Amino acid sequence: MKWLVTGGAGFIGSNFVFYLMDQYPEDQIVCVDSLTYAGNLETLESVMEDPRFSFAKVDIADRKAIYALFEQEKPDVVVNFAAETHVDRSVMDPGVFLRTNVLGTGVLMDASRQYGVKRYHQVSTDEVYGDLPLDRPDLFFTEETPIHTSSPYSASKASADLLVQAYHRTFGLPVSISRCSNNYGPYQFPEKLIPLMIANALNDKPLPVYGTGENVRDWLYVTDHCAAIDLIVRKGKEGSVYNIGGHNERTNLEVVKTILHTLDKPESLIHFVTDRPGHDRRYAIDPAKIHRELGWLPTTAFDEGMKKTIRWYLDNRAWWEHIISGDYQNYYSKMYGNR
Ligand code: NAD
Ligand code: TYD
């Protein structure tokens, strides 16, 4: 089978590439990534020379380049991870989110139609459902929860999901969509909560917690997400949406304290800063459908996953220090300077 994986130089996409290469030695993988600030070829170093793997630096919204690539590669399956993904950046500059997340998805689906792709899988997010109140722990997002977005990021992802469903209904494109909760693990860009807090703690810098730190996220170890997507692509019902999550809800403050305790750093490093505009309160996935239909269950418990992740950032300092010594400095002072 030949996979075309977009966004494979980013966090989850690269983990997915490693997952496929590990699980399916016979498969071919074409990784497509335009290498934005979030894409990093160093991440893919270990597979670059592997004959089963090839890399193409292409923007998914560049129709001509995408068609030429599909013409050359004729993939069986497309899995679209490529996206602008950071909520805070979408507040500062929404435009690029529309271009990549919406228009780019449209281009990939047009090419998938043209070249007879057997499955187009859209990697979406639980953020399309908006948020849940903090005082209703009985409520969860199901696949039937109405789309109700809060940020330009989530609105762009929801728009893409609607387009994917329209291509299925109108053109019969064989699609599937997955909506996962927050991921963590190796190779996550240090602008996101967990790697940012690990990096700051290791550098004895303040840990900027938005608002009161009571917002809740539902955390899933990245390899569990990869396994779920693989299962959906192979066995999931065409045209279907699957929620992915492992019932691992934590407040941001709990996550930050776990990091500090594991690294033996003082809680005095925690700094409460101005809240994110439109900050979603709680995400919580009901994963009953994917469990019932496909037998998927997460395998990495939160405590174990956090230990592995912190260990990885300790063992791979060069990877993230390289990032935070570059353009990231400008981003950091713009985002956190006046908070
Ligand atoms: P990431 O920001 O780490 O990586 C995104 C990758 O896409 C980067 O390599 C970047 O270079 C590439 N990219 C961006 N614009 C592109 C374009 N126009 N053309 C080609 N490549 C482009 O993101 P991530 O956290 O790995 O997320 C991957 C996908 O999973 C996204 O679609 C995101 O919405 C979804 N998702 C993420 C999470 C999470 O917790 N991180 C949870 C649920 C869903
Ligand atoms: P993030 O990793 O950006 O993911 P998302 O907003 O897509 O869920 O943020 C996770 C949570 O952590 C979110 O509630 C915002 C909060 N947060 C902070 O408190 N401080 C920070 O510096 C960052 C980046 C996030």
* pLDDT above 90 (res 304): yes
Q: How far is the CA of 27 from the centre of ligand 1 (A)?
A: 23
Binding pocket residue ranges, ligand 1, CB within 6 Å: 6-7, 9-13, 33-36, 38-39, 59-61, 81-85, 100, 104, 123, 125, 157, 180, 182-183, 189
Query: What global pTM score does this model have?
Result: 0.98
**Closest residue by CA, ligand 1 atom 15:** 83
What was the pLDDT predicted at 326? 81
Question: Given the CA of residue 85, which atom of ligand 2 is nearest to it?
Answer: 7
Q: What is the DSSP string of 3-14?
A: EEEETTTSHHHH
Distance of CA 98 to the CA centre of its chain: 17
Which amino acids bring their CB within 6 angstroms of ligand 2? Answer: 87, 182, 192-193, 196, 208-210, 215, 217, 252, 276
Residue 84, pLDDT score: 98
Helix %, strand %, coil % of the chain (to 5): 45, 15, 35
The predicted-structure confidence for 66-109, as pLDDT tens digits, reads as follows 999 999 999 999 999 999 999 999 999 999 999 999 999 999 99
Least confident of 145-149, 151-155, 214-218, 327-331: 327-331
On the question of pLDDT at 325 being above 90, the answer is no
Q: What is the pLDDT of residues 177-213, one digit of tens each?
A: 999 999 999 999 999 999 999 999 999 999 999 999 9
How many residues in total does the chain contain? 339
Residue 338, pLDDT score: 81
Active site members: 126-127, 153
pLDDT (tens digit per residue) in 4-46? 999 999 999 999 999 999 999 999 999 999 999 999 999 999 9
Residue whose CA is at the smallest distance from ligand 1 atom 44: 125
